[in-house]
Structure 1
Amino acid sequence: MSSDFIRTEQHGRVITLTLNRPDERNAIGSHADCEALVAAVQRAGAAPDVAAIILTGAGSAFCAGGNLKAMRERDAATGIGPLHSPLTTRNNYQRGIQRIPRALWDCEVPLIAAINGAAIGAGLDLGLMCDIRLVAQGAKLASSFIKVGIVPGDGGAWLLPRAVGWSKAAEMMFTGEALSADQALACGLVSQVLPPEQLMDHARALAERIAVNPPQTLRLVKRLLRESQHARLDDVLQLSAAFQALAHETADHHEALAAFIDKRTPVFTGK
């Protein structure tokens, strides 16, 4: 299923979600855009056989962030930014764009961002919500909210320091200046820089390497990684024991053991 803003394709256990408004550089401009992305991620996460999700953009940009024209118009019906008072603006962010980081953070399927072009402001934050980031050579990445006199309204202040450390995050947010793909790689913002024509092939190949593994156990591993970012070691050990108890009872675990002993390739079913 696809919407005007999100194109959805599935091949085997891998789903690709494409931001599909290239004429607007895939900017997020309305509550309908937020809903389309949230719904697409939730549908993919609810499918028990899905083992990896790729998020990318159509055209020359990954995502140019928020739609600045929509912000200026302050349209209460569709706009995701400022409205007529600080209170209504606060509520507008919470019911709109802030649903996106919550949905992506709650998604237990491994997420790969294939950053095909500019990732600016909320567009960079969208990439940061994914687990693995690949970027095309020539792409620019910026936490540029300060350049238009606002702060990250979608969780970027929480996400960026966890990716690049406090000092680099502060530099990026205080200056609003863009990084090249190579600079993003050097500071750990992305995993790999690839020629533009190879980006999607590499993202799909990586997704397939992930998807050969038991899909339900992949979700447990991702949840464990997520929780480990802010939990005490003892809490992580307790959660690990509970998740391990679940994993040991899955059919895929029993299949993995049998295939190892029989020296054959396992066939996982997601059960």
Structure 2
Amino acid sequence: MVNEVTLVEVTPEIALITLKDVKHKNTFTKELIEGLLYAFAQIKANTQYKVVILTGYESYFVSGGTQESLMAIYNKELQFNAVNIYSLALDCELPVISAMQGHGIGGGFVFGLFSDFVVLSKESIYTANFMKYGFTPGMGATYILPKKLGVSLGHEMLLLGRTYRGIELEQRGIPFMVVRRAEVMNKAMELAEELAEKPRCSLITLKAHLVSGMRNELDGFIEKELKMHDETFHQEEVKEKIATLFGQ
């Protein structure tokens, strides 16, 4: 496995995936993507695990696409679905907990929302900032934000591209635990330990039932998002915004 992604067996039943690409602040680099795919493949091959925890490092969870990948989409050299990382947690047969101790930005926030459980940090920033750059959302954002956060807040986040602290989202009534950054992993572990008390077969069977609708519906939204990208991504204004605003 690449150094940016580690898979640790916390207990024989609990797997912990940690994303730590300090140089690129956990953007979706080639190395981070390969590490995630490898980690989930290893989890799939293990017949003892019952639950997966996803987390980042220090003040970063996942920061979304790289500037280079956004420019490649602008230049029609790439589409965001070239490699399906956005639904790794949804497609995993085991319950997945996103311990989002740090910032979740753009596709990184979306990536975390596809988990079965989400724990946010009061101090961290969460944003679906696609429209900040002038292009419509991808990564399944138009599906998962209204689904998980509610239509009103989900549409607000998608249309405005604004950033929100975890404590602001808590005040808006999101249905997730929001705790101090130092407490996020402890809360995630409490959830994981409670899940691990259940039979593996029952967890897999119930998750498959609970997310079957989401799995069936997502592809249609991805197709529509790609069509919107064809209409919105290749504007000169978008190119300028990617060049000047990225990382701000």
Q: CA deviation at 1:188?
A: 5.1
Q: Is the 8 A contact 1:25 1:59 kept in 2?
A: no
The correspondence for 1:94, drawn from 75, 81, 88, is: 81
**Could you state the TM-score of these two structures normalised by the residue count of structure 2?**
0.79
Query: Deviations for 1:174-225, whole angstroms, at most 9, x for unmatched residues?
Result: 1101122123234454521112222212211210111111012101111110
Pairwise CA RMSD: 2.0
**2:90–2:215: 8 Å Cα contact kept in structure 1?**
no
Distance in 1, matches of 2:123 and 2:199, equals 35
Query: How far, CA to CA, are the matches of 1:144 and 1:191 in structure 2?
Result: 20
The AA in structure 2 aligned to 1:173 is L
Q: What amino acid maps onto 1:45 in structure 2? A: K
| Matched residue SS, 2:123 | coil
Greater relative contact order: 1 or 2 (C-alpha under 8 angstroms, separation 6 or more)? Answer: 2
* TM-score using structure 1 length: 0.73
> Partner amino acid for 2:81?
Q
Unaligned runs of 5+ in 2: 217-248
Q: Residues of 1 paired with 2:37 and 2:49: CA distance?
A: 16
Superposed CA offset, 1:14-52 (max 9, x none) = 11101111232211122x432321221232133221111
Letter in 2 for 1:145: F
Q: Report the CA distance between 1:143 and its aligned residue.
A: 0.5
| Residue 59 in structure 1 maps to residue 58 in structure 2 | yes
1:140–1:63: structure 2 CA closer, same or farther, 3 Å change rule?
same
In 2, Cα distance between equivalents of 1:128 and 1:121:
11
- The CA distance in 1 between the partners of 2:105 and 2:174, in whole Å, is 13
Larger CA Rg, structure 1 vs 2: 1
Partner of 2:238: none
Q: How does 1:209-224 map to 2 (within 5 A)?
A: 209-224=194-209
- Alignment of 1:114 with 2:99, yes or no, is yes
Would you say how many aligned residue pairs link Structure 1 and Structure 2? 215
Deviation at 1:149, TM superposition (A): 1.9
User: 5+ residue gaps in structure 1?
Assistant: 75-80, 232-271
Matched, 1:27 2:27: yes
Map of 1:1-271 to 2, 5 A cutoff?
Answer: 2-12=1-11, 13-30=13-30, 32-72=31-71, 74=72, 81-82=73-74, 84=75, 86=76, 88-90=77-79, 93-96=80-83, 99-187=84-172, 189=174, 191-229=176-214
Which has the higher mean CA deviation after the structures are superposed, 201-210 or 33-42? 33-42
Aligned equivalents of 1:188, 1:113: Cα separation in 2 = 18
Equivalent residue for 2:230?
none
Cα distance between partner residues in 2 of 1:223 and 1:8: 23
- Output the CA distance in 2 between the equivalents of 1:189 and 1:67: 28
For residue 26 of structure 2, give the secondary structure of its aligned residue in structure 1: coil
CA 166–216 in structure 1, closer or farther in 2 if over 3 Å, else same: same
In 2, Cα distance between the equivalents of 1:118 and 1:8?
Answer: 21
Work out the CA distance in 1 between the residues paired with 2:105 and 2:173. Answer: 17
Over the matched positions of the two proteins, sequence identity in percent amounts to 25
Whole-angstrom distance in 2 between the partners of 1:44 and 1:187 = 35
Aligned 8 A contact 2:121 2:167 in 1: no
Give per-residue Cα distances to partners, 1:103-144, cap 9 Å, x unaligned: 322111101011111101011101111111101220111000
What residue identity is the alignment partner of 1:94?
A: N
Amino acid at match of 1:28: F
User: Which amino acid is the alignment partner of residue 89 of structure 1?
Assistant: L
Kept in 1, the 8 Å contact 2:87–2:111? The answer is no
**Aligned-partner Cα distance in 1 for 2:173–2:51:** 22
CA distance in 1, matches of 2:102, 2:68: 21
State the alpha-carbon separation in 2 of the partners of residues 150 and 186 from structure 1.
28
State the alpha-carbon separation in 2 of the partners of residues 206 and 192 from structure 1.
Answer: 11
